[in-house]
Amino acid sequence: MAGTALRGRLTWQVAKVAAVADETASVRTITLDVPDWPGHRAGQHLDIRLTDEDGYVAERSYSVASAPGEPVAITVERLDDGEVSPYLTDELRAGDDLELRGPIGGYFVWEPGDGGPLLLLAGGSGIVPLRSILRHRERTGSTVPVRLLYSSRTLDDVIYRVEFDMAASGVEVVHTLTRHQPPGWAGYARRVDAALLAEVAWPAAGTPLAYVCGPTSFVEAVSQALVQDGYPPQRVKTERFGATGGT
Amino acid sequence: MGPISRGFRRRRQDPAGSAGRVPPGQYVTKDFPVLSAGPTPPTALDRWSFSVGRGGQQKTWSWAEFRALPSQDVTVDIHCVTRWSKLDTAWQGVSVDMLLDLAGHDGPFAMAHCDGGYTTNLPVADLTGGKAWVAYAYDGQPLAPEHGGPARLLVPHLYFWKSAKWVRSLELRDTNEPGFWENYGYHIYGDPWREQRYAGD
Amino acid sequence: MEAVDGNAIGGLLLEVFGTEMTDAPSVCVSCGDARQVAELVVYLRGPGTVVRCRSCGSVLMVFVTIHDRTCVDLMGLAVLG
């Protein structure tokens, strides 16, 4: 393998924070200026490494929120007892250095050639890589039909809400709000279960392709229900964050 | 070392009253983090047993027999090698001194064996003298499965990876063989006060 | 914390093997279960990273990083990549 050209891909490099933007009260998108970024695929992630003055190191993984071709961005949810996430959502600012490694991932990725129809299922901050897939689909002019089922605690917790409200043609967005719904809410108001999935998911007969991302319990429940509904396991791609997300 | 991340500090809470109680490199947490190398084993109490011994000579207790043994309530500080420490944790369990006496066995070393296959090794000298228990209650409640219930080893003077969850036996041995993490480079002894995290420390 | 999956060790595998591995095939030496690395069960944040078979729970891989060196044990795999 050629040496220098691939270093940015296989090793840690220092990026600069170009901008930070709050998505919700506890979620922030960080746009990065990455000098040796080789480009990425929709659905991939990168690893972040923080070092304190004593040399203590903390590493975490975050999905890339932007589409291939757009500036690299990650979206981070602040976990109250997290070690890394509060730093990224509250302290980090434009001009800061951020050490990262990536892009990473060859499984939870989508390209227009992979076809569909696409079923995207997000639990909380599991929406991030799916948003990259949606933006990639739009930027490439793909007409693969998409249904996004997005589970959040409350309407205020919905990330990229305005973007999804103006969803591109061929994209149906279905929200479920599990903890609290605004007055007059006519949408789903419970955790995703087999019955809800049966109403929203593409029928298995049409060879759909599913991407499920979120906390481990969400991904297990949803992926098992899809397989029980006839989705071939190899057509259900999963990415589990664990109970505490990306911390 | 990578660039210093401006404004990033590792957790280093030092609440009042903790002076001298926090080993080097640790921070104090109010949580009780769950760290595991595998899934929580589903051990039914009617199939649970605990054994002490070596080879074919084991003293074994059923759950009912074990719970009938005299127990102790202890409040101790615990220190995980992943750097969190938790102060004043309250446990109930049977002292390993008593279990070794009842088993009538001895040996310079022990290997703890657990549901799920985890092992860790300790000198018997660190399991006796009131330094270790097999604990089945935490904070006044039956020990939760994710924290090692039905019962776990509790050896608070060593890093908490030695306090093996889901413990089922103490195998007495003549030699000090490394257990699961020790095999991969963690310290064979693990004294938090000498910061013995890794082999060679 | 709860188990995650092989996606979470993509960076670690990239560093250890020098190539993308999340879509690599794996076969469990104990039960023969075959699936891509991304779908294996991963326990992070402990003293080390433990990767288990989704079917039988056997330990497939263990990664321990001490002082910038990573020890890799692949004893549970019949096939990787």
At C10, which amino acid appears?
G
What does the pLDDT average to over B154-177? 98
At A63, which amino acid appears?
S
Chain A residues touching residue B33 (CB < 8 angstroms):
none
For CA atoms B59, B63, B68, B74, the dihedral sign is positive
User: What's the pLDDT score for residue B16?
Assistant: 62
User: What's the pLDDT score for residue A167?
Assistant: 82
Closest-approach residue (CA) in chain A for C39 = A238
CATH of domain A112-240: 3.40.50.80
Tell me how far apart the alpha carbons of residues A207 and A230 are, in angstroms, rounded to a whole number.
Answer: 10
> Tell me: the pLDDT tens digits for B123-162?
999 999 999 999 999 999 999 999 999 999 999 999 999 9
Q: Of the candidates A59, A7, A241, which has an alpha carbon nearest to the alpha carbon of residue C4? A: A241
Is A238 within 8 Å of C5 when comparing Cβ atoms? yes
> Tell me: the pLDDT tens digits for C16-62?
999 999 999 999 999 999 999 999 999 998 999 999 999 999 999 99
What does the pLDDT average to over B153-178? 98
Per the prediction, chain B carries an average pLDDT of 94
Does C19 contact B at CB distance below 8 Å?
no
Is pLDDT at B77 greater than 50 in this prediction? yes
Q: Spell out the domain ranges in chain A.
A: 3-104, 112-240
Backbone angles phi, psi at C35, to 5 degrees: -160, 165
Does C72 contact B at CB distance below 8 Å?
no
C-alpha distances in angstroms, A58 versus A63, A84, A188? 17, 7, 38
B55 pLDDT tier (thresholds 50, 70, 90): confident
Which pair of tokens denotes residue A35?
């000098």
In a domain, residue B104? The reply is yes
Which residue intervals of chain B are DSSP H helices? 63-68, 96-103, 180-183
Q: How many domains does chain B have?
A: 1
Closest-approach residue (CA) in chain A for B4 = A51
C73 pLDDT tier (thresholds 50, 70, 90): very high
Q: Which one is the CATH code of A3-104: 3.10.20.30, 1.10.260.40, 3.40.50.720, 2.40.30.10?
A: 2.40.30.10
Q: What ipTM was assigned to the predicted interfaces of this complex?
A: 0.96
Tell me how far apart the alpha carbons of residues A65 and A68 are, in angstroms, rounded to a whole number.
Answer: 10
Q: Helix-strand-coil percent breakdown of chain A, rounded to 5? A: 30, 30, 40
In a domain, residue B135? The reply is yes
What is the residue whose two structure tokens read 């659905």? Answer: A43
Does C4 contact A at CB distance below 8 Å?
yes
At A151, which amino acid appears?
S
C67 pLDDT tier (thresholds 50, 70, 90): confident
Chain B residues touching residue A14 (CB < 8 angstroms):
2-3
**Which residues of chain A carry a pLDDT beneath 50?**
1-9, 244-247
DSSP B41-77: P---GGG-EEEEEETTEEEEEEHHHHHHS--EEEEEE
- Nearest-Cα distance to chain A for C61, in Å, is 18
User: What's the pLDDT score for residue C36?
Assistant: 98
Per the prediction, chain A carries an average pLDDT of 93
B17 pLDDT tier (thresholds 50, 70, 90): low
Phi-psi label, residue A203: left if phi above 0, alpha if psi -120 to 50, beta otherwise: beta
- For B136, the domain range is 47-194
First and final C-alpha spacing in chain A: 34
At C2, which amino acid appears?
E
User: What's the pLDDT score for residue B169?
Assistant: 98
Closest-approach residue (CA) in chain C for B159 = C47
Question: Looking at residue B180, which CATH number applies to its domain?
Answer: 3.90.420.10
B2 pLDDT tier (thresholds 50, 70, 90): confident
What does the pLDDT average to over B83-105? 95
Q: Residue B12: is it exposed, middle or buried by C-beta count within 10 angstroms (0-12/13-18/19+)?
A: middle
In a domain, residue B19? The reply is no
User: What's the pLDDT score for residue A247?
Assistant: 34
Q: How many domains does chain C have?
A: 1
> Which segments within chain A are labelled E, that is strand?
13-24, 27-33, 45-51, 57-63, 73-77, 97-104, 118-123, 146-152, 171-177, 209-214, 236-240
Q: Of the candidates A15, A108, A219, which has an alpha carbon nearest to the alpha carbon of residue C20? A: A108
User: What's the pLDDT score for residue A4?
Assistant: 38
User: What's the pLDDT score for residue A54?
Assistant: 83
User: What's the pLDDT score for residue B13?
Assistant: 62
With contact defined as 3+ CB pairs under 8 Å, the chains touching A are B, C
Is C22 within 8 Å of A108 when comparing Cβ atoms? yes
Tell me how far apart the alpha carbons of residues B33 and B147 are, in angstroms, rounded to a whole number.
Answer: 9
Is C57 within 8 Å of B38 when comparing Cβ atoms? yes
B106 pLDDT tier (thresholds 50, 70, 90): confident
User: What's the pLDDT score for residue A66?
Assistant: 98
User: What's the pLDDT score for residue A56?
Assistant: 87
User: What's the pLDDT score for residue A245?
Assistant: 41
For CA atoms B144, B90, B38, C56, the dihedral sign is negative
